[in-house]
Amino acid sequence: MAHIVKRSYKYRFYPTSRQAEELTRTFGCVRLVYNRALEERTRAYRQEGRKSSYAQTSAALTQWKRTEELRFLNEVSCVPLQQTLRHLQAAFTHFYAKRADYPVFKSRKRSRASAEYTRSAFRWRDGTLTLAKMHAPLDIVWSRPLPDGAEPSTVTVSRDAAGRWFVSILIEEKISPLAPTGAMVGVDLGITTLATLSTGEKIANPRHERTDHRKLAKAQRALARKAAGSANRAKARLVVARIKARITDRRRDHLHKVTTRLVHENQVIALEDLAIRNMVKNRSLARAISDAGWRELRSMLEYKAAWYGRHVLVVDRWFPSSKRCSVCGSLTTTMALGVRNWVCGCGAVHDRDVNAAINILAAGLAERRNACGAGVRPQGEPLSGRRPAMKQEPLGRPRELPCLPYRENAKPA
């Protein structure tokens, strides 16, 4: 049965000089309002012991606009400014619920420049998009069509570090589940091989970062030689950003192709819950692990499976998938990481990764059966005799509140 989901379509666009100037000014105002509101909420909590609400920060924004210092906030659309206050409210909600750390200030250099427009702040007509305070529609490159009859509810405009402009259009789309299939697969993620399937197939790891590593290192050395604040340094920073953007785009494209294929071909997909945050602390493997994109691969599998009526089973990270024989079930006490093939006492010859994928699938199906028809084991429910599994790495104790005061008085560029 088809169901309605919220889905965003991201496109690149090329603004005119006037549009770029207007959007750049909007980005600066959004950042300033977010930081001001965060500063005020932090001060109220530290000095007065009270929690501020969205309504209070929204009223404060109205007062800021009336001051001589911040009168320029009236020059941009008010909707992105209100939306950034809603984002701050969501950040505090997650913090108080101990799901995230304390919100931090947005940096002019390190934060992604973006602005969110709701339905009242843009015009969608005949396939053209015009934002508030603009007279001409955006020159969007429609790399793929929107669904017929799509009506955007939210539009987010952003500019990445490489200077590219993007617009993300959020719509409600009706998605029909794929036809059921009896195929099931276990997936063992790795570095040399991105994914090894329980069927014996191995999906290669393109290692996009390693391919462009020499070019990236050369560009970064050139950047380091430029004088701080100079125009040449800004140009060199742009070269580095473009190389990184190319790496990221190629990696994401490959992961999309792999995950889409797995979801279309299999009804059940089992994979291991990896503690990636801890694994990247290994200085010898951190670069390779980050380049593989395991976290993004799992995220893609989960939301695509939810769209198309598939099931993703997550096996506890402490399950000994590599050391257990998939034929007789016996467990090897120790196994060095360099051992890629091994022979069990029962005579079975195993490829380490294929054996692990088979065990991951078996463990995932066993946990699902033990749930007695309740579906996949809830996140956080422990395996018998083992530490609890976690869908995400623990967030740890919230950080202390930042030091005050923070001040950004300058008018955004």
Give me the active site residues, please: 188, 272, 353
Amino acid at 217: A
Strand, helix or coil for residue 328: coil
Distance (Å, rounded) from C-alpha 324 to C-alpha 60?
61
- Of 252, 247, 254, nearest to 204 by C-alpha is 254
Q: Are strands 184-189 and 128-131 parallel, antiparallel or unpaired?
A: unpaired
Distance (Å, rounded) from C-alpha 78 to C-alpha 117?
9
Distance (Å, rounded) from C-alpha 190 to C-alpha 194?
5
Are 363 and 318 spatial neighbours (Cβ–Cβ below 8 Å)? no
Distance (Å, rounded) from C-alpha 117 to C-alpha 130?
11
Amino acid at 390: M
Distance (Å, rounded) from C-alpha 171 to C-alpha 300?
19
Q: How buried is 318 (Cβ within 10 angstroms: 0-12 exposed, 13-18 middle, 19+ buried)?
A: middle
Strand, helix or coil for residue 171: strand
Tokens representing residue 120 in the block: 């009242």
> What does DSSP assign to residue 119?
G
Token pair 């589940």 is found at 177
Please state the three-class secondary structure of 196-219 as a single string: EECCCCEEECCCHHHHCHHHHHHH
DSSP secondary structure of 44-75: IIIII-----HHHHHHHHHHHHHSSTTGGGGG
Distance (Å, rounded) from C-alpha 130 to C-alpha 64?
27
Quick count: other Cβ atoms within 10 Å of Cβ 378?
Answer: 10
Tokens representing residue 250 in the block: 């190629």
